[in-house]
Amino acid sequence: MSQSLASKSLQTGHVGLNVTDIEKSLPFYIRVFGFEILAEGKDDSQRWAFLARDGKLVLTLWQQSDAAFSTGAAGLHHLSFQVDTIEDVKIAEGVLRELGANFAHDGVVSHGEGAGSGGIFFTDPDGIRLEIYAPSGAETAPAPTGAAPTCGFF
């Protein structure tokens, strides 16, 4: 019988995203999520940035793609960020609207029929699907995919 990881603590570390143009992606992620740059590679052949919140590495951007995100390929479906309240989600929505981001749905939606959790679904400059949600406060928001999880079908 094979063993599994025995550590009592397991959590997601940072997430790395490939981008086509770090000059477009870096300001987007800093503005939307309030990230700070921990470290950055500016050599034209190796552009990258380590992005953090409160000193903790959350996201890395790697400029090594030559095409936009493909929803038809195996790999990342979407990247989700949890905030405390629906009001926080709405603040982020306002910033994204100022930036001209593309949204999958109009405004805050619930994660499913009768769900209290919900948020906004949008894409970054490379078309990477992103979500910002709150665990409660979306009880009266629409559920675009009915009983199926909203976050799975956008």
pTM listed for this prediction: 0.93
* CA–CA gap between residue 31 and residue 26 (Å, rounded): 9
| pLDDT tens by residue, 53-89 | 999 999 999 999 999 999 999 999 999 999 999 999 9
* CA–CA gap between residue 46 and residue 24 (Å, rounded): 16
In sign, the C-alpha dihedral spanning 22, 109, 72, 98 is negative
| pLDDT tens by residue, 15-68 | 999 999 999 999 999 999 999 999 999 998 999 999 999 999 999 999 999 999
Q: How many helices (H) and strands (E) does the chain have?
A: 2, 8
Helix H, strand E, coil C: the string for 31-93 is HHHCCEEEEEEEECCEEEEEEEECCEEEEEEEECCCCCCCCCCCCCCCEEEECCCHHHHHHHH
Helix (H, G, I), strand (E, B) or coil at 126: coil
